[in-house]
Structure 1
Amino acid sequence: MTRPPLSDEQREALLSSLPQRAGVYQFVDTDEAVVYVGKARNLRHRVRSYFGAPSDPRPFVGWLPALLSDIRVIVCRNEREALLLERELIARLRPRYNVDLQDDKNFFVLCLSRHPFPRLSLERLHPRGGSPARMRDLQCFGPYPSAEAARELLRFLQRAFGLRVCSDRQFTSRTRPCLRAGIGRCLAPCTGTLALPTYAERVREAQEFLRGRGDGLLRALQERMWRESERENFEEAARLRDRLRLVERSLARQQVVDPAGGDADVLGIHREGGGGALLWLRVRAGRAADVTRHFFEDAPLPTWELVRRHLLDRAAAGLDAARRWLIPGEALEGAEAGEEVDALSTLLSEQAGQPIEVHTPRRGPGASMLELARENAAQAFRQRLATTSARRDRLRRLQARLFLRSPPRRIECFDLAVFQGAAAVGAMAVLRDGQPAPAEYRRFRIRAARCDSDVDMLQEVLRRRLRRARSGELPLPDLLLVDGGVQQLNAARQVVAELGLDGLSLAALAKGGAGAGRHRVTRERVFLPGRKNPIRLRPESDELFLLSRIRDEAHRFAGAYHRALRRAATLKSGLEEIPGVGPTLRRRLLLRFGSLRRVRQAPAEELARVPGVTVQLAKRIARFLGGAAFDLP
Structure 2
Amino acid sequence: MTDPTPTPAFDAKTFLRTVPEEPGVYRMIGADDKVLYVGKAKNLKRRVSSYFQKTLSSPRVAMMVAQIRRVDITATRSEAEALILENNLIKSLAPRYNILFRDDKTYPYIELSADEFPRLAYHRGAFAKGARYFGPFPNAWAVRESIHLLQKTFQLRTCENTVFQNRSRPCLLQQIKRCTGPCVGLIDKDAYAADVRLAARFLDGQASEVIDDLSAKMQDAAERLAFEEAAACRDQVRVLQAVLHKQFADSRKDEDVDILAAIEEDGLTCVNIAMVRGGRHLGDRPQFPSGAAASGAEDSLLAFVEQHYGQHPVPTRILVNLSPEPLREALAEIVDQPPGVVAPRFAAEKAWMEMAEKNARLAIQARARDTGRIEQRLEALRDALDLEEAPQRIECFDISHTMGEATVASCVVCEAGAMKNSEYRRYNITGITPGDDFAAMRQALERRYGKVAAGEGVCPDLILIDGGKGQVSAAREILAEVGLESVRMVGVAKGEGRKAGLETLIFPDGREGLALGGESAALHLIVEIRDEAHRFAITGHRARRGKARIGSRLEDIPGVGPSRRRNLLAAFGGLDGVRNATVEDLCRVEGINRKLAEQIHGALR
Per the shorter chain, which TM-score range? Answer: 0.3 to 0.5
What TM-score does the superposition give when structure 2 sets the normalisation length? 0.45
